[in-house]
């Protein structure tokens, strides 16, 4: 019985950390997709047409072709307005769907954290040497017990908080 409990505790800390990191990466990834906006075929086609019109207008630099270059620039400006309208219409739809995904992810994250807290409420998640966490020992062992043979028992709530902070730092390192 004791070895089963020790095995469960030894696997709990990395498992909880991996779950927290996965949630953090997913939420950052969805946030970035929401910020980038939609990439549609019509938007890409309009961008290409605008670029072609502007390149053609810039190639017409002679005084005799000024009217033709101005006409091409006006056409490019009209296409830019069309592109802006297209992006606005499709952007609202896509952003609403990303908002829905983010809400579902948040609810799933809260439920998962709740299940983890209930599962490990009075059971330590990990053991850490007491010398490593000397001034913060009581905080880390909250709701998990105290020290046991020179090792400090880490509770689930402090471990979730610590894992969340570390996963945010890791996401910033990877620019996610």
Closest C-alpha to 83, from 111, 54, 48: 48
In tens, the pLDDT along 96-139 reads 788 888 999 999 999 999 998 888 877 777 777 666 666 665 55
Asked if residues 13 and 154 have their Cβ atoms less than 8 Å apart, the reply is yes
pTM over 0.75: no
Instruction: Note the pLDDT of residue 107.
Output: 95
Nearest to 124 by CA among 157, 149, 165, 163: 157
Rounded Cα distance between 29 and 18, Å, is 16
> What are the structure tokens assigned to 175, written together?
């620019």
- What is the Cα–Cα distance from 52 to 115, expressed in whole angstroms? 57
């Amino acid at each position: 019985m004791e070895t089963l409990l020790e095995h469960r505790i030894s696997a709990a800390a990395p498992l909880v950390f991996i779950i927290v990191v996965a949630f953090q990466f997913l939420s950052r990834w969805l946030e970035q997709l929401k910020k980038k906006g939609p990439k549609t075929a019509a938007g890409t086609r309009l961008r290409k047409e605008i670029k072609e019109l502007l390149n053609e207008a810039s190639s017409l630099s002679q005084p005799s072709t000024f009217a033709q270059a101005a006409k091409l620039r006006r056409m490019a400006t009209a296409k830019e307005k069309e592109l802006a309208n297209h992006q606005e219409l499709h952007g609202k739809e896509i952003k609403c769907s990303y908002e829905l995904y983010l809400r579902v992810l948040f609810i799933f994250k809260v439920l998962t954290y709740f299940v983890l807290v209930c599962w490990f409420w009075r059971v330590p998640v990990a053991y850490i040497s007491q010398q490593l966490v000397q001034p913060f020992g009581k905080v880390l062992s909250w709701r998990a017990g105290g020290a046991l043979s020179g090792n400090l028992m880490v509770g689930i709530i402090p471990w979730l908080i610590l894992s969340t902070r570390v996963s945010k730092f890791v996401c910033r390192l990877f620019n996610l």
